[in-house]
Structure 1
């Protein structure tokens, strides 16, 4: 219940305050969002399987976001940022779809 309240509060604050992201961080936001989605889908899967641990979720969430942003940052510095961004999205996308399939199987018993 607290998580839902926090989510709703965050959405309302985002709509009211309309925060802006510095231009230098804008290339990393999509990658960080995909990494965060991977952690969230993994947490949902773990919850349905009965193996969810909140500390593991927090560490997974933060490390996924930071590592994905770091990979893209390093790619930008060596001139292959777009290729590494695509690679990160593909890998995390596969993980998201695998977790979504497991969630579907757990919910629908199919």
Structure 2
């Protein structure tokens, strides 16, 4: 089910383009930015867990909702106590996104090199088999 997070991201991007959603002014724009970062973090985590073979729909959906709610709450709380927590929340979420993306890259690269090595060994075994059949 690795395609679910990617499909959700694509649907959201298409809806934003079709509905011609522009910049959101004021504090609402900051809250929306934090919510988008939290959602993107969850999507990257979902892709990562899918590549690791650990993806579960229930964990993804509850994580998506709770990550957005927690990020939104922290930003709102900071706004109400006159402490700019938007930057702290954005920094933590960006760090998690970069970490997940680097792990996704590493997993994909490892899978690709493993597949290349397997194909090389199969070709070598086939070559040895053909060579031994020719001598027999």
Residues matched between the structures, number: 108
CA–CA distance in structure 2, aligned partners of residues 5 and 97 of structure 1: 20
1:43-66 Cα distance to aligned partner (Å, 9 max, x none): 000000000001100011111111
Q: Which has the higher contact order (CA 8 A, sep 6+)?
A: 1
1:44 aligns with 2:47: yes
Scaled by the length of structure 1, the TM-score of the pair is 0.81
What is the Cα-based RMSD across aligned positions, in Å? 2.5
Q: How far apart in 2 are the matches of 1:34 and 1:55?
A: 20
Matches within 5 A, 1:1-110: 3=4, 8-19=10-21, 25-80=28-83, 82=84, 84-109=85-110
Give yes or no for contact 2:38–2:71 (8 Å, CA) kept in 1. Answer: yes
Q: Which has the larger radius of gyration?
A: 2
Question: Per the alignment, do residues 61 and 104 of structure 1 end up closer, same or farther by CA in structure 2, a change over 3 Å counting?
Answer: same
Structure 2 length-normalised TM:
0.67
